[in-house]
Chains A and B, each alone.
Chain A
């Protein structure tokens, strides 16, 4: 008992110190969580990073609209359908056009009939009365002339046997009969000549006009059926049977063409000078860092655009511009879809080296 503190204290002290050091030295910071998926990493020694969006081979989606306003009566495709060139996509209501077409076709028929009537002139029945009339007038003239002759002969033989006044009247009658005959002959000639050429030309022109007017409606009928501009894939169908499609504005059917998709990569303006030549590039899809998509350089857009923010907040101020570089996706280790985002690394020169090279005094007078 008497010895106890002598032993107990050193023992306690040893135990305490050992415990303290053991606890402290073995205590560790929490093991860092491994990320669920490792983030995309830079595959090149020096690289420029960009965020890309997959676009169809023609670079832009084709947003098809209605050529004129109207109710949609049929939709022939659904999203994802492959279609050939000129395949019908949807149909606008064509009944008003059909009605209009019938009116126009009736007008054409009228114009044609008018022209045919002119061409058919003279009407055969009109000629014989005129011919008869001419014969009749010829006879009347001959009658008057013979009376005049007879009176003149009688007057020569026996002056005073005929009243001079009577003879004068018959002479005038004969002249009038001659004029009447002239007129009847002219009328017969006019009738026999048929339609006047300028009248015919006018009728001809009216036929052409009516034909053209009908053709306008037929073209509209053709346009009422919207067709694929080329072979490709229907990406979106935003129209349903019964909806009223407004003229102008696209997007009723979004159409993309086939082939290897492109990726349009945004490079921040501060990195833009580092995109040089035809850079090699690799892309990864979000969440799949180990599937690398080899990319073939297509071109650099020469005009830098304001950065379109992808946060979706439309109040976000655009305060930076981006260089857009187009690449073709050469291989697809995973399926990609138009509109998908892609992280892209482009091989590029060492920025530090360039910046530091520019700061050497040889470039200009120091301040």
Chain B
């Protein structure tokens, strides 16, 4: 009986192709838009992703996103270091400065001041140069897209940052940030010269727990002991995403596109499947006349729906992933496909094909076996 259903499905090539491709298109649209949405959201906390060695972020209790910073006071670092269960704590400065190249182009840039001794939080992947070159006088490391935007910087080029000389000693690859600003890495002590003077420099304190203490527990202890804000890295990321979801239109705009993909896919699939079932009614009637029960017929329809759905799903996610994978990491395309998105798309596919099959089943179940003889 299943074999009959399969033969019915592939029997009409045009319908078979349009059914599978319609479903594939819907799934591709959902996966692709979802990936871009997640990719953009990830950029809002790209700094957290880059600094993966940091387990708990300490900041002012009201900081919502890594881009909106209220600096702490210097002694707060000592207070945080004194919290039991902490392995280490280093300062991080984050600010914006204007970088000007030799040729006169200028560009706002994100200046990250790393702990001068440990360089904790530095770029994970150096394209040119070494991170330890930051110990050198006036040294900065620029991310690759930023170097391009600043007129194709190379090692040894000199930038002007807040009227100071800064020498490029390395090019690194980082996650793109939300504003696509060039990222300039330097040391904490040097960073204060590279941005207009601020009274407090301590944007974040980067910490990690001692073995045996969980990130969440350390964050709780820091909050309890110091009254500062402290979040494990992933929670800070989620807080950022929630803030952007609430305060910007990104979620709504992408949400509608994903929904649109779902409805377009649903419309195509439901319509094609309905037509397909409708045109195969004669065969169903014949089966019914031969004594096949309703259960058999339902199984057949569901089988056809699920099989075409599976094929559409496979092709859809395959094409979408191929598309996403062709975009280079750190490039302009914001693309991130978490496994959860693939599972979600699978769920949506099931919803899609069940709706389509429910519409078609009505016809099959109310079928009069007699029409076969008409």
Contact = CB atoms under 8 A, between A and B. Distances in A.
Interface string B153-174: 0000000000000000000000
B115 interface: yes
Given A24-B321, A30-B52, A31-B52, A268 B75 contact: yes
Nearest to A47: B82
A48 B76 CA distance: 12
Contacts, number: 196
B317 A16 contact: yes
A309 B120 CA distance: 22
Nearest to B51: A32
B53 A41 contact: no
Nearest to B330: A30
A5 B315 contact: no
Nearest to A286: B117
A197 interface: no
A32 B82 contact: no
Contact of A42 (B31, B88, B134, B135): B88
B131 A29 contact: no
B87 interface: yes
A35 B120 contact: yes
A31 B131 CA distance: 15
Interface in B42-57: 49-54
Contact of B122 (A14, A33, A270, A322): A33
A21 B317 CA distance: 9
A29 B341 CA distance: 16
A36 B118 contact: yes
B268 to A, nearest CB: 16
Interface stretch (A132-140, A292-300, A311-319): A311-319
B317 A49 contact: no
A12 interface: yes
Nearest to A7: B10
Contacts of A317: 199
A46 interface: yes
B118 A42 contact: no
A319 B53 contact: no
Contact of A271 (B31, B82, B90, B200): B82
B280 interface: no
A32 B53 contact: yes
Contact of A25 (B88, B314, B339): B339
Interface string B123-136: 11100000110110
Contacts of A274: 82
Contact of B74 (A47, A309, A352): A309
Given A5-B13, A351-B225, A355-B225, A35 B337 contact: no
Determine which residue in A16, A37, A269, A286 has the highest number of CB atoms from chain B within 10 A of its CB, and name it: A16
A24 B175 CA distance: 17
B82 A48 contact: yes
B311 A9 contact: yes
Interface residues of A, number: 67
Interface in B125-151: 125, 131-132, 134-135
A322 B75 contact: yes
A287 interface: yes
B78 A50 contact: yes
B290 interface: no
Interface in A4-42: 5-6, 9-10, 12-21, 23-25, 27, 29-42
A320 B118 contact: no
Contacts of B74: 307, 309-311
Interface in A104-155: none
B367 to A, nearest CB: 26
A51 interface: yes
A266 to B, nearest CB: 8
Q: Which 6 A-B pairs have the closest CB atoms?
A: A16-B318, A13-B314, A32-B52, A49-B81, A17-B314, A20-B317
20 contacts: A14-B314, A17-B314, A18-B314, A19-B322, A23-B321, A23-B325, A24-B338, A30-B49, A32-B53, A32-B124, A33-B125, A39-B120, A46-B84, A49-B79, A51-B78, A266-B78, A315-B197, A322-B75, A351-B225, A352-B224
Given A36-B134, A269-B75, A320-B73, 10 more contacts: A13-B314, A23-B337, A24-B339, A30-B52, A32-B53, A40-B117, A41-B210, A42-B210, A50-B78, A315-B199
